[in-house]
Amino acid sequence: RIKAYNLITGETLIFNMYIPDKKGEFFSYNGKLYYTGFGEYYRITFSEDELKLETVEGYVPLRYINCDPNTGTGDDNEKANLLTPRYRASYSAYKDMSILILPPYTGNENIVVEYNGYRVSPEKYSYESGKLVFMGVAFEAGHNNVVITASDTRADGDREKITNCTAAISYGGSSSGFSEGTRLFLAGNLEYANTYFRSELKNPEYFPVDAYDILGDTLDPITGFGRQGGGLVIFKKNSIYFSNYVYSSGEVVFTITNISADKGCDYKNTIQSVDNRLIWFNSKYGVMALSSTSRTNEKNVCVISGNINGSFSEKALLGKPDYEGISGFIYKNKYHLIVSFEYYFIIF
């Protein structure tokens, strides 16, 4: 279950939402708290003294505009959203229109029709073999004055690409009034271990179908993210990549550079930043720091826990049988690490 603690009243609120026994990821974006990583996607908001937890259904994109009712074809507009099979299409009606052909791959359930901004009663239209047949609707000619909302039958399984991600960070461009970056990046889906996904501009509930990148192979999975030097650092289990936001000629490009070919991070909950330098734990090398985000260089990553790594001591940081539950945090300019009921810290 997800619980919320009120610091003022001391009360604990328990949300009765089903959560499988696996760890998800909390992240905040534009005043809202989100949680994902277990096959679902929740939004937690606070307003008017009320805390709400809701399932994120996903933004419904306007995929087609200027559609012809006689053919169902129009101009491409927004991309499909991985979070939902739902989409919208706008048509330019003609006087006394009685038939509207739907775009290809449109399902026959829960089709909603709006005319001049008002919803048409479902009793006034029916679905027949890829088209809608209207009865008693006095359509007038207009431009994009009819909007249908329907489902794409090809979207089966797309939502889980996002809802099974376990690592999240915001990054990209000017914040434009946001306290975070302009896009949300997600990764950590075991079925897409070397893939990370990008949200649409300032919308963590819209992941366009083509907004993703694949880094290397699945044997070296993406484990977490960080920010350093004005860019996005993408950690894999055995390597590190650096991405920069570039805006040129009206287009956004996220460049990718490999900055460490053989050292990565295998425990994402240890990734922290102090003085604009990323610190994390690696079960093979110990606590590490990113000294530079330039192109691949063995000096980009350095070990900073040599005095506590140890070789034989049972109190040594390395060589433990299990690092499950390890976590790191920054407090008073120290990197603190908790693992196996032991506590370590490094002073900078």
C-alpha–C-alpha distance, residues 146 and 91, integer Å = 5
Select the more confidently predicted residue: 39 or 68.
68
- pLDDT given for residue 177 in this prediction: 47
Type of residue numbered 181: G
Sign of CA dihedral 220, 224, 230, 231: positive
Q: What is the mean pLDDT of residues 286-292?
A: 92
C-alpha–C-alpha distance, residues 38 and 41, integer Å = 8
C-alpha–C-alpha distance, residues 344 and 316, integer Å = 10
Q: What is the mean pLDDT of residues 202-212?
A: 96
- pLDDT given for residue 294 in this prediction: 77
Type of residue numbered 217: D
Q: Mean pLDDT across the chain, nearest whole number?
A: 89
C-alpha–C-alpha distance, residues 113 and 122, integer Å = 8
Least confident of 102-116, 124-138, 300-314: 300-314
User: Looking at the predicted structure, is the pLDDT value of residue 221 above 70?
Assistant: yes
Q: What is the mean pLDDT of residues 100-129?
A: 96
**Residue 280: other Cβ atoms inside 10 A:** 28
C-alpha–C-alpha distance, residues 213 and 200, integer Å = 14
| H-only helix segments in 78-187 | 158-163
Give, in order, the Cα–Cα distances in Å from 177 to each of 31, 125, 173, 247.
Answer: 12, 44, 11, 18
Q: What is the mean pLDDT of residues 310-318?
A: 73
Instruction: Return the H-helix or E-strand segment holding 258.
Output: strand 251-260
Predicted structure pTM score: 0.90
| H-only helix segments in the chain | 158-163, 306-309
Least confident of 114-123, 129-138, 261-270, 296-305: 296-305
- pLDDT given for residue 297 in this prediction: 66
- pLDDT given for residue 147 in this prediction: 98
**What tokens does 257 get?**
């550079």
Q: What is the pLDDT of residues 161-194, one digit of tens each?
A: 999 999 999 998 654 444 568 899 999 999 999 9
Select the more confidently predicted residue: 253 or 90.
90
- pLDDT given for residue 322 in this prediction: 85
Per DSSP, 173 falls in state: S
List, as one string, the DSSP characters of 57-115: -----EEEEEE-TTT---EE-SPPBTT-SEEEEEE---TT--EEEPPTTB-SSS-EEEE
**What tokens does 61 get?**
């994109």
8 A C-beta contact, residue 196 and residue 179: no
Q: What is the pLDDT of residues 141-155, one digit of tens each?
A: 999 999 999 999 998
